[in-house]
Chains A and B, each alone.
Chain A
Amino acid sequence: MPWRDRVRRVLIAGGGPAGLYCGLLLKKANPALDITIVERNPAGATYGWGVVFSDRTLAEFREADYPTYREITDRFVVWDAIDILYGGERRRCGGHVIAGIARRALLDILQQACDARGVRLRFQTEIAGPADWEGVADLVIAADGVNSVIRRAYARVFQPSLREGKAKYIWLGTRRVLGAFTFIFRETPFGLFQVHAYPYDGATSTFIVECAEETWRRAGLDVADEATSLAFCESLFAEELGGQRLMSNNSKWINFATVKNNAWRHGNVVLLGDAAHTAHFSIGSGTKLAMEDAIALTRACEQYPDLEQALAMYQMERKPAVEAFQEAARASRTDFENMRRYTGLPPGQFACHLLTRSGRISYDDLRLRDPLFVDGLDRELAAAVGTGRAAGGAADRSGASDATGPSGQRAAGEPAPPPSRLEVAPPPAFLPFVLRGLRLENRIIRRARPVFAARDGLIGGEELARLAALATSGAGVVMTAPVAVSADGRITPGDPGMYRDDHAAAWAAVVRAVRGRSTARIAITLNHAGRRGAARPRAEGLDRPLRDGWPLLGPSPLPYAPGHPVPRAMGRTDMDRARDDFVRAARQAHDAGVDALHLHCGHGYLLGSFLSPLANRRTDEYGGRLQNRMRFPLEVLDAVRAAWADRPLTVALNATDWERRGIDVEEAAEMARVLKTHGCDAVEVLAGQTTPDSRPAYGRGFLTPYGDVIRNEARVATMVGGHLTRTGEMHILIAAGRADLCITEPVLSEDVERATDPPFSLSLLRLRSH
């Protein structure tokens, strides 16, 4: 091939798995190449203990080079279970095929294979500056690791970024031979310690200890020498180590550095392995990614005649794949850094949360891998319903009302009921849930889509029929789209309302119709549109002001968008009136027989605009710091709570404005905590729309990560939507303690819509069948 004519000499900096494997594969593809691998360390030296590969990675090795694949797999320890040691219990989940090998053994195999093929290996040779590589080879491969010298030399081209994680970790080994990939979580007076450990040959295991930096300091490890650190960890994990020592290999407590590069190539220089990217060890992929790089680079060189193009194709192939992995690694790292958030979860949910942290394993995957694990989890969750344990999860620990049943209000110290003898259990989303004494048949809330067909707030027979039809959707709760608490609180003139007697009568008819059809509960969403009011119906878009609208209200005289009507900054009278409107609507809903009340405090409507600094610029006691911004919404909540008596009351809240200087998830968690103390039974997690400039990221389950944080940080029951359309998605959310209730919108019937509903008004358009 033409590239062979131009590329004769190849210099590989770095004799780790990436460099060696790349040298081997290139030489195999083109024996005429003159390949030199330069390594700083002596031949036998190594850092790190074992490395792991998944079965899928092994299959790629088999394709790429069969002899080394055979040798590698001969030396492997293969296991398929993950053990999670937490809260005094061991949970094992099988079906995750993982293979471990000593890093030293892997290097030996690759070095010998390189030798045999005639790849030149030079040890104890330093690559220090451009003179060492410029002009000495036609292709320079920078496989010189996290601190790559070559990458640094062309930093302006590669634009590397190095970001350090928050946790401290140390990479150790032990003669204790573990039977599975093992996660250990250990509470200490200093804080939480966690271990990632796995066997890699018949005699040794990798043992990584990790903790928060404050914990590390409190334990005195910041000033401890190596021996003291080892002794500390040995005594902490004496039981799991079974009397075996921990071994150091020049090991130090460090922060994990994530390396990314904007470009991976520059002229004839290309980055490979850790020099190009790193991914947090909790998903065990560093060596895997490095060796996959070698395979991809070799393939690109074989496929494309031009070196420049080959390197471009290599980058194009690998960069997105690696970045997707880094994203999963980032999510995993963040989970480990915030593990304290989840230590309130019962062991089964905790294990499930851990196993599904990357978002890559679904409920169905988990069931396929280990049906017994999932059956056990289902039973555990089902048994917890009504006991005040587990299924309500983290929310229960704080002891407030919520989540798992009338007995959820059990006084602390009261003995737990006897363990359940459940032998079969429905999957998690089909479990009942008790919301302030109200039993829901399952965890699924079916929300109606808005239709904007009401007249002066009065819904018609068609809308009634639509809502009634949802009663038979199978969901435990039917929830309305926003219903206005006053005429000027409507988003559009077509919004349904709850502010006149005939409105209440119409909603009572809806309640009767739902009751007549199923046991589904009915929840009404009460809203005041605030500065998003007086807009046109949304058939052609959002927030299009009416030509002759009504005066708008808001925390500050800021229009929703440029050119929109300016709202009046609310004075005391306005606030009292709006609060009273909510209260009257709540009373009417009560009289209409509505089961649950949902208070809209998100998406930039009136109450949401008070909460967000983007819309609230007040300087009085209703603006500024969070406590002030929450003041008016809390006044409304308190008044509504009093009027609504002891019935379920939930709140919709923005977990993020998706905008700079807007609400972020930490602040939202604080809000959720406060709302709970004011009698809010569950929080719906929303995002964006506080202004038209929010920068959203949509996709399946886009609200899930926010809901997870709010639920487990604030220990409050959560309702999460965000385009959940499959029951499997909902099961895993409940099972992993990421949400308590799932909100679904009509996409479930999408296939029906697709078949019957001509999406376009021009009915003359038909595909002619020839």
Chain B
Amino acid sequence: MRVGIGLPTAISAVPGSLVVEWARRAEEGPFSSLGVVDRIACDSYDPLVALAAAAAVTRRVLLCTMVVIAPLRNTVLLAREAASLDALSGGRLVLGVAVGARQVDYDATGADFRERGARLSGQLAALRAAWEDERIGPRPAQAGGPRLLVGGTGNDVFGRVARYADGYVMGGGPPRLFARMADKARAAWADHGRPGRPLLWAQAYFALGDDAVDAGMRYMRDYYAFTGPYAERIAAGLLTTPQAVRQFVQGYAEAGCDELVLLPAVAHLDQVERLADAVA
């Protein structure tokens, strides 16, 4: 299993220069990828634009969306942005897509919240078609277009993974839960007669160091406030010590995860080094 790090794009009032510098430092290692999340009704950077900035200052790391809320977007424009980013970055894009969890983001864009599942299925088929459409440039650098991952935990998710995508990305939870979801992805994959096996990615949040824990917990409670009482429990899952990070990483590796992206809950540059030390 490889370990990636998230860019601090969904933390309030983070200067652009910090996001770019963060990417530069992540490139130094030991991280294999840079991940971004997607929110609309929130003080946050657009995921694909942020990854484009990161692409300009990195050569090695993969660039992945964890995830893009595809139903909020025009499919062809999303396909084109993804193809552009893939071409500009030398084929480093991994496009995770999902329906997202927050209705506010749908309200903010005028997208239909109730139709989100069906819309995502249609978009998954259309993304591939757009990447192959000669009339729509540029050609993605990766043959067949960027790798596609589908996120979520509902039953419909795994059919979408197997039918349309290259793999599954889980949005958070303990290794045991990941193992269960990975099983569903594998079951769906085999049932659909796909060759090989699905890519299995996941994410979790971290805030390392005594000075960061409180701010990290505040961020988590705030970011997940829409879940009501669950927010407290999600916040409790924040990785706040190197030991916790290492155990978590090990748990995911044993559950068969290919790439675990650790997202920051605090936007201080020293978090990059702290995480690097923890996973080294």
Q: Once the chains bind, are B2 and A450 in contact (CB under 8 Å)? A: no
Bound complex: CA of A543 vs CA of B276, how far in Å? 43
Are A697 and B229 closer than 8 Å at their CB atoms? no
Which of A451, A689, A698, A760 is in CB contact (< 8 Å) with B158?
Answer: A698
Pair A723/B258 contact, Cβ less than 8 Å:
no
Q: Is the CB of B92 within 8 A of A762?
A: yes
| Contact in complex: A750, B197 (CB < 8 Å) | yes
| Chain B CB within 8 A of A577 CB | no
Q: Which of A746, A757, A759 has the most CB of B within 10 A?
A: A759
Q: Are A312 and B228 in contact (CB under 8 A)?
A: yes
What separation, in Å, do the CA atoms of A312 and B231 have in the docked complex?
A: 12
Q: Quick check: A450 and B163 within 8 Å, CB to CB?
A: no
In the complex, A761→B86 CA distance in Å?
14
Hey, which chain A residues are within 8 Å of B185, CB to CB?
698
In the bound complex, do residue B162 and residue A542 qualify as a contact, i.e. CB atoms below 8 Å apart?
A: yes
**Residue from B3, B147, B187 in contact with A698 in the complex, judged by beta carbons closer than 8 Å:** B187
Q: Are A770 and B280 in contact (CB under 8 A)?
A: yes
Decide if A489 is an interface residue (CB 8 Å cutoff).
no
> Does any Cβ of A come within 8 Å of B121's Cβ?
yes
Complex CA gap A456/B60 in Å reads 40
Chain B 120-156, CB within 8 Å of chain A: the 1/0 string?
A: 0100110010000000000000101001000000011
Residue of A nearest to B230 (CB): A316
Alpha-carbon gap, A544 to B128, bound state (A): 9
A240 within 8 A of B: no
Q: A762-B92, A765-B32 are in contact. Are A698 and B194 (CB under 8 A)?
A: no
- Evaluate contact between A542 and B197: CB separation under 8 angstroms: no
**Contact call B183/A450, Cβ cutoff below 8 A:** no
Using Cβ atoms and an 8 Å threshold, which residues of chain B touch A745? Answer: 190
Number of A residues near B (Cβ < 8 Å) is 51
Structural contact, A760 and B147, CB atoms closer than 8 A: yes
Q: What is the CB-to-nearest-CB distance from A462 to chain B, in angstroms, rounded to a whole number?
A: 13
B197 x A723 contact (CB < 8 A): no
- Known contacts A450-B193, A542-B162, A698-B159: does B187 contact A769 (CB below 8 Å)? no
Which listed residue (A540, A698, A769) contacts B155, Cβ 8 A?
A698
When the two chains form their complex, are residues A449 and B159 in contact, meaning their CB atoms are under 8 A apart? no
Residues B30 and A769 in contact, CB atoms below 8 Å apart: yes
Answer yes or no: B62 CB below 8 A from chain A CBs.
Answer: yes
**Residue among B29, B159, B228 making CB contact with A770, cutoff 8 Å:** B29
Given contacts A698-B159, A760-B147, contact A688 B256 (CB under 8 A): no
* Complex interface bits, A450-461 against B, C-beta within 8 A gives 1, otherwise 0: 111000000000
Q: Is B199 an interface residue, CB under 8 A from the partner?
A: yes
The answer to whether the Cβ of A694 comes within 8 Å of any Cβ in the partner chain is: yes
Whether the Cβ atoms of B197 and A540 lie closer than 8 Å is no
For the complex, is B34 an interface residue (Cβ under 8 Å from A)? no
Residues of A within 8 A of B232 (CB): 313
In the complex, the answer to whether B187 meets A762 with C-beta atoms within 8 Å is no
How far is the CB of B198 from the nearest CB of chain A, in Å?
A: 9
- Judging by beta carbons under 8 Å apart, are B256 and A750 in contact? yes
B110 contacts across to A, CB distance below 8 A: none
B184 touches A698 (CB 8 A): yes
Once the chains bind, are B195 and A768 in contact (CB under 8 Å)?
no
User: Cα distance A597–B125 when bound, in Å?
Assistant: 34
On whether the beta carbons of A312 and B159 are closer than 8 Å, the reply is no
Task: Report the bound CA distance from A450 to B190 in whole Å.
Answer: 9
- Assembly CA distance A692 to B122 (angstroms): 10
Within A291-306, which residues are at the interface with B (CB < 8 Å)? none
User: Is A481 a contact partner of B158 (Cβ separation < 8 A)?
Assistant: no
Contact A723 B91 (CB under 8 A): no
| A540-B166 CB under 8 A given contacts A764-B60, A765-B62, A770-B29 | yes
The interface bits of chain A over 694-705 (1 if a CB of B lies within 8 angstroms of the residue's CB, else 0) are 111111101000
Interface 1/0s, chain B 177-197, versus A by CB < 8 A? 000100111111011111111
How many angstroms from the CA of A63 to the CA of B256 in the assembled complex? 36
Given contacts A694-B159, A698-B159, contact A722 B187 (CB under 8 A): yes
Query: Which A residues are CB-close (under 8 A) to B217?
Result: none
The residue on A at minimum CB distance from B2 is: A767
Which listed residue, B156, B166, B190, B280, touches A449 by the CB 8 Å rule? Answer: B190
> Please, what's the 1-or-0 string for A509-550, where 1 marks a CB less than 8 Å from any CB in chain B?
000000000000000000000000000011111111000000
Asked if B219 is at the interface (CB within 8 A of a chain A CB), the reply is: no
Q: Chain B contacts of A750 at CB under 8 A?
A: 186, 197, 256
B32 neighbours in A (Cβ, 8 Å): 765-767
Residue in chain B with minimal CB distance to A686: B191
- Is A723 touching B187 in the complex (CB atoms < 8 A)? yes
- Interface pair B191/A765, CB less than 8 Å apart: no
Contacts of B191 in A (CB 8 A): 688, 696, 698, 702, 721-723
* A699 and B195 contacting across the interface, CB-CB below 8 Å: no
B190 near A768: Cβ-Cβ < 8 Å: no
The reply to whether the CB of A155 lies closer than 8 angstroms to some CB of chain B is: no
Return chain A residues, CB-CB under 8 Å to B144.
539-540
Which residues of A are found within 8 Å of B199, using beta-carbon distances?
759-760
Q: Contacts of A572 on B, CB cut-off 8 Å?
A: none
CB of A753 closer than 8 Å to a CB of B: yes
B165 beta carbon closer than 8 Å to chain A: yes
Q: In the complex the two chains form, is B60's CB within 8 Å of A699's CB?
A: no
A542 to B230, CA, bound (A): 37
How many Å from the CB of A490 to the closest CB on chain B?
A: 13
Say yes or no: A699 contacts B183, CB within 8 Å: yes
- Residues of chain A with a CB closer than 8 A to B30's CB: 767-770
A472 at the interface (CB under 8 A from B): no
Q: Does B164 contact A (CB under 8 A)?
A: yes
Q: Is B258 a contact partner of A760 (Cβ separation < 8 A)? A: yes
Question: Known: A316-B229, A541-B163. Is A747-B186 also a contact (CB below 8 A)?
Answer: yes
Assembly CA distance A696 to B164 (angstroms): 15
- B188 lies within 8 A of A747 (CB): no
Distance in angstroms from B93 CB to nearest chain A CB is 11
CA distance A561 to B30 in the complex (A): 44
Asked if A112 is at the interface of the complex by the 8 Å CB criterion, the answer is no
CB neighbours (8 Å) of A694 from chain B are 159
Enumerate chain A residues within 8 angstroms of B162, measured Cβ to Cβ: 542
Q: Which of A312, A541, A722 contacts B165 (CB 8 A)?
A: A541
Which residues of the other chain, B, contact A316 by a CB distance below 8 angstroms?
229-230, 233
Give the CA-CA distance A698 to B181 in the complex, in Å.
9
A753 to B198, CA, bound (A): 12
Determine whether A754 belongs to the interface, using a CB cutoff of 8 Å to chain B. yes
**Which residues of the partner chain A approach B142 to less than 8 Å between Cβ atoms?**
761
Q: Which of B92, B187, B194 contacts A699 (CB 8 A)?
A: B187
Q: Which of A717-770 contact B (CB under 8 A)?
A: 721-723, 745-747, 750, 753-754, 757, 759-762, 764-770
Residue A262 at the B interface, CB < 8 A?
no
Decide yes or no whether A309 CB sits under 8 A from chain B.
Answer: yes
Chain B proximity of A547: nearest CB distance (Å) = 9
A249 to B261, CA, bound (A): 61
For A766, list chain B residues within 8 Å (CB): 32
Complexed CA–CA distance, A768 and B29 (Å): 7
Chain B hits for A692, CB < 8 A: 121, 163
Measured CA separation A539–B192 after assembly (Å): 11
Task: Give the complex CA separation of A537 and B196 in angstroms.
Answer: 12
Given A765-B32, A770-B29, A540–B184 Cβ distance below 8 Å? no
Given the known interface contacts A695-B159, A762-B91, the answer about A723 and B195 at a Cβ–Cβ threshold of 8 Å is no
Among B155, B156, B185, B187, chain A packs the most CB atoms within 10 A around the CB of B187
With known contacts A723-B190, A762-B91, A696–B165 Cβ distance under 8 A = no
A540's contact among B128, B183, B233, by CB below 8 Å, is which?
B128
A/B interface sample: 11 pairs, CB < 8 A: A313-B229, A537-B195, A542-B162, A695-B155, A698-B185, A722-B191, A750-B256, A754-B256, A760-B147, A765-B2, A766-B32
List residues of chain A with CB under 8 Å of any chain B CB. Answer: 309, 312-313, 316, 449-452, 481-482, 537-544, 561, 688-689, 692, 694-700, 702, 721-723, 745-747, 750, 753-754, 757, 759-762, 764-770
Closest 4 CB pairs of A and B: A723-B187, A312-B229, A770-B280, A768-B29
A313-B232, A696-B188, A770-B276 known; 15 new pairs, CB 8 Å cut-off, are: A449-B195, A538-B193, A541-B124, A543-B163, A696-B155, A698-B155, A698-B158, A699-B180, A702-B191, A722-B191, A723-B186, A757-B196, A765-B62, A767-B30, A770-B280
